[in-house]
Amino acid sequence: MQPKALEINEPVLLSLVDAVTAWQGALDQILSTSGLTYPKWLLLRAIRLDEFRRGHPCEGTIFLDVPQTERLLRELHAENWLEFAADGTPQLMPAASVRLERAAQAVGALRSVSVCHLSSAERAALGSLLKRMTTTLVDHAARHSRHAAWEQHDLSLVVPDEVSRAARHAMAA
């Protein structure tokens, strides 16, 4: 039996969203105190764990494409987090390793005090909210692509993906 979907203003959803927001704020504060942003943190962590290859995207918790990683590498180098080997491979500077370890300890402490087990009702509520958010994003992306096609060619005919092949052929005729 599917649990009833909760509305966005339900107390359990509001408290879970508040908790996640507070956790994100605490993480941002920890990282900014260390002089980092979340993308910089992820890139430094990938470099430290030897999971990053220059010229390739950094596929961690969030996707960092090549131009973004190159910009972050330049910024981290200017901020004395990184140095580059003769072949261009990024390496943590010795003093930065200590700073990064302290930041990792703080993030670990934050995780240890914020980890809890969610009840089945809480998991269902979060799952329902995420599904609704995903549906909204998919709908928005479809509207955006239709609008972009229309802007590109104002006389173009934009056909929704759900329309059958026969209907598309009839519209084209």
Helix, strand counts (H, E) of the chain: 6, 4
Judged by DSSP in three states, 64 sits in: strand
Tens of pLDDT, residue by residue over 75-106, are 999 999 999 999 999 999 999 999 999 999 99
SS3 (DSSP) at 50: coil
Please, are residues 92 and 47 in contact by the beta-carbon 8 Å criterion?
yes
Predicted confidence at residue 40, as pLDDT, reads: 94
pLDDT, tens digit (0-9, with 9 covering 90-100), for 98-130 = 999 999 999 888 887 765 666 777 767 767 777
126-139 pLDDT per residue, tens: 677 777 777 887 78
**Whole-prediction pTM value?**
0.61
Angle between helices 11-33 and 120-152 (to 10 degrees): 70
